[in-house]
Structure 1
Amino acid sequence: MHSFNLARFKVYKYFHLSFNIEGLINENNIARKICIFIYDIYLC
């Protein structure tokens, strides 16, 4: 179960990095940072 959560964590991080450029362009960049922060807490 721990390895599964770690894999999900890596997948979420990959999507966050791949959409980082779009996040910088969008005006809701702050909302995205909050979303990433919530995901980090949930996956820890």
Structure 2
Amino acid sequence: MLAPYQKTRVSRSAIALNGIKTRRRNAQAASEADETQAATPA
């Protein structure tokens, strides 16, 4: 569970930024996996 949102706006934006980074990393890993699969002959 996340802590109650009584923290500063800074920590909130830090959490959001962290989520964006994670999402971007996941998307990059997914696209890399797609490329690897496409490069591998069936």
Q: TM-score with structure 2 length normalisation?
A: 0.49
Higher helix share: 1
Q: TM-score with structure 1 length normalisation?
A: 0.47
